[in-house]
A and B are shown apart, each in its own frame.
Chain A
Amino acid sequence: AQSVTQLDSHVSVSEGTPVLLRCNYSSSYSPSLFWYVQHPNKGLQLLLKYTSAATLVKGINGFEAEFKKSETSFHLTKPSAHMSDAAEYFCVVTPAGGFKTIFGAGTRLFVKA
């Protein structure tokens, strides 16, 4: 069975400081892992994906995530937050070659000036 847990429902940072959004997953098979971002009243945009290649994955807008199998984690980071990063972020797991993609509950990122 698959599951995704986003450990924080809300994260607040100041502009220019680092961002850390935490995600733990559970999957019976080798999963693909993703982070998506959703701005208000918009659809979801793919930030980055892990598909069993390099464990450190670089995405768009300066975000990156590290796949740690031993910790079953896939945390999202960014060295320096920008006001435009304020949005909802979703950690997502899909079994290899499968469907029934599972979304986490989301983490709302607030960025203070």
Chain B
Amino acid sequence: ETGVTQSPTHLIKTRGQQVTLRCSSQSGHNTVSWYQQALGQGPQFIFQYYREEENGRGNFPPRFSGLQFPNYSSELNVNALELDDSALYLCASSWTTPDYGYTFGSGTRLTVV
């Protein structure tokens, strides 16, 4: 049973650029959620995808967007990067709903300069 894998592990971007982060969900999981974790804070829910549709979104602007593919892998795209977007981005997968807990990846550390 494979876990959740994220790529890249680290990334440095310039303010105003666009970035794409990738996530492969755990085998057998069909739901993927993305979280932003700023330094010293708890993870904040960005959005969730189930069967290739966004079915929940947190308090993040539209420049944060995502995709889920037929194999349940997912991408997080952030446009017009701002300095405050610097954070650890975590991907988590679950079966249908997160009632029974998530499996998290190790995250992508994004630094915006």
Contact = CB atoms under 8 A, between A and B. Distances in A.
Interface residues of A, number: 23
Contacts of A45: 104
Interface in A1-56: 32, 34, 36, 42-46, 49, 51
Contacts, number: 61
B104 to A, nearest CB: 4
A73 interface: no
B52 to A, nearest CB: 15
Nearest to A106: B42
A107 B28 CA distance: 31
A72 to B, nearest CB: 18
B54 to A, nearest CB: 10
Contact of B104 (A32, A43, A97, A99): A43
B101 A106 contact: no
Interface string B71-102: 00000000000000000001010000111111
A43 B90 contact: yes
B101 A46 contact: yes
Contact of B42 (A32, A34, A105): A105
A42 B106 contact: yes
A99 B43 contact: no
A93 B106 CA distance: 21
B3 to A, nearest CB: 9
A99 B98 contact: yes
Interface of A: 32, 34, 36, 42-46, 49, 51, 90, 94, 96-106
Interface of B: 4, 33, 35, 41-45, 48, 55-56, 58, 90, 92, 97-107
Given A46-B102, A90-B43, A100-B56, 20 more contacts: A42-B106, A43-B105, A43-B106, A44-B43, A44-B92, A44-B102, A46-B101, A46-B103, A96-B99, A97-B97, A99-B98, A100-B48, A101-B33, A101-B102, A102-B45, A103-B44, A103-B45, A105-B41, A105-B42, A106-B42
